[in-house]
Structure 1
């Protein structure tokens, strides 16, 4: 009797870390290949890239009315900005400094709230859709058909989506930041009754353009990470329709972890112990 037949459970547990490490390496190689093909896709597959930009921003078909990434991210950031204003005004009011609600809107929206919400919205809309699309193409052998026609599938399917996502994320994130600022100001001034001049004074005082630039850089890196994760899981889906659903679930879980991890790492790298912040004066 072989060792595999005698101790199947033990050997399976021993192989699990090795297989996990192999998957990490495979995903890293796939990401490098996709990034290498992205410039080629931008030049030679312009029509597909433009179509994907429209699909990312406004959605496709019936989803264009209410399910596009612009709509989802807009609603999420509006709700987050309003909640931040309500909680900030109430909590600061307990110690008599509710005038600093504008400071919270300028500080937390830029550094934490808007990037995380935009990343989650991108993963839940375009990311999940990308995994499902590529997974369906894989199990229907459409990716193999592209290879048979001498079309590089990573360039046509993955590179175009990366280029489209990086182009669409900048105006999309600008909309998210503006929506969070508008929601915070509207809630604080019109619903909670704070003076508009007082709110605007603290908001403009603590809105740091450098922080805003780092926030955009964080959103770009977050979008690139989400796109690489979802395209990998979709491109390597297997097991029929059930396998596609499993790939979508794994991709969404992984991308959500990546979103908060990118936020943490960039916050540590950019702000660190100093924080680039001074409340004195």
Structure 2
């Protein structure tokens, strides 16, 4: 006679299996939500244009007291300004040690476009627009406003999630323009005004190594990053639970996941665009 071993003899194994199954189901639910959100963008363009315009204005310039300082645009501008200043400080001092400080303009044209501006813009987008979207949707979820919309026959995902994804993509275009210009300006002022390098020398190497194709790829990377970040934040806000504390937890998880996603987008985009050749030649 054989006796089956009770499953209670292996509690750790059961917990591990349950955790793995729950994680797998969560990933599937998240992918399904993202797919429905992307499909709902067309409905947002056709039926919810007013809501898209309202969210775009709110995301870019802010509302209430935040609108006084310009909202997300000013925040991202200051972030990239400080990052560009660090490029000037580190780039010039390191190049000076090997006697090629004239190439400080190269560091701005190379690093700001390919790395600094996209990453800083993604971080600013996740910390401001993304976190705000998660908090708004989470508050609507716990107050049963989303359930009320569905009862009224409104496509809740298209109305709430797709409109925010579309608004984030619209906002990121001028936002990224400001980010790139502030990074360029900060590096140029730091190198020429603080360290005293000739503006002619700086501009010569900056214009020589600045590739317009890199700027276009950088914009595409910023748009892809905005889509991924907004998808992550809308999902965590839409599925928040547990009252106000649950909304705060959802915002924290969304910011954490979106920051990791922004770094991964930068990594894979850099590998895809610059991984083989790099589009960089140093001669002369």
Q: In the alignment, which residue of structure 1 is the partner of 2:170?
A: 167
Query: Any unmatched runs of 5+ in structure 2?
Result: none
Task: Please report the TM-score for the alignment, with normalisation by the length of structure 1.
Answer: 0.97
Alpha carbons 2:60, 2:70 under 8 Å: kept = no
1:156 is the counterpart of 2:152: no
Q: Deviations over 1:235-278 (max 9, x none)?
A: 00011111111100100000000011000001111111321110
Q: Distance in 2 between matches of 1:3 and 1:68?
A: 59
Determine helix, strand or coil for the equivalent of 1:198: helix
Q: Distance in 2 between matches of 1:275 and 1:113?
A: 16
Q: Distance in 1 between matches of 2:70 and 2:182?
A: 17
Q: Distance in 2 between matches of 1:273 and 1:38?
A: 34
Q: 1:274 to 1:50 in 2, by over 3 A?
A: same
Q: Distance in 2 between matches of 1:139 and 1:11?
A: 31
2:103 aligns with one of 100, 106, 115: 100
Q: Which moved more, 1:24-33 or 1:201-210?
A: 24-33
Q: Deviations over 1:50-72 (max 9, x none)?
A: 11111111111112223711011
Q: Distance in 2 between matches of 1:31 and 1:88?
A: 40
Q: Distance in 1 between matches of 2:169 and 2:182?
A: 20
Q: In the alignment, which residue of structure 1 is the partner of 2:267?
A: 264
Q: 1:202 to 1:134 in 2, by over 3 A?
A: same
CA drift at 1:8: 4.0
Query: Any unmatched runs of 5+ in structure 1?
Result: none
Q: Distance in 2 between matches of 1:21 and 1:278?
A: 45
Q: Distance in 1 between matches of 2:118 and 2:89?
A: 20
1:198 is the counterpart of 2:212: no
Q: Distance in 2 between matches of 1:220 and 1:71?
A: 19
1:141 is the counterpart of 2:140: no
Q: 1:265 to 1:144 in 2, by over 3 A?
A: same
Determine helix, strand or coil for the equivalent of 1:62: helix
Alpha carbons 2:61, 2:71 under 8 Å: kept = yes
Determine helix, strand or coil for the equivalent of 1:273: coil
Q: Deviations over 1:115-153 (max 9, x none)?
A: 000000000001001001000100000000001110011
CA drift at 1:17: 1.7
CA drift at 1:191: 1.2
1:82 aligns with one of 85, 104, 120: 85
Q: Distance in 2 between matches of 1:237 and 1:8?
A: 29
Q: In the alignment, which residue of structure 2 is the partner of 1:31?
A: 34
Matching of residues 1-281 of structure 1 within 5 Å: 7-66=10-69, 68-281=71-284
Q: Distance in 2 between matches of 1:95 and 1:53?
A: 48
Determine helix, strand or coil for the equivalent of 1:169: helix
CA drift at 1:225: 0.2
Report how many residues are paired.
280
Q: Distance in 2 between matches of 1:139 and 1:9?
A: 33
CA drift at 1:163: 1.2
Across the aligned residues of Structure 1 and Structure 2, the Cα RMSD in angstroms comes to 1.3
Q: Distance in 2 between matches of 1:164 and 1:181?
A: 26
Q: Distance in 2 between matches of 1:148 and 1:14?
A: 37
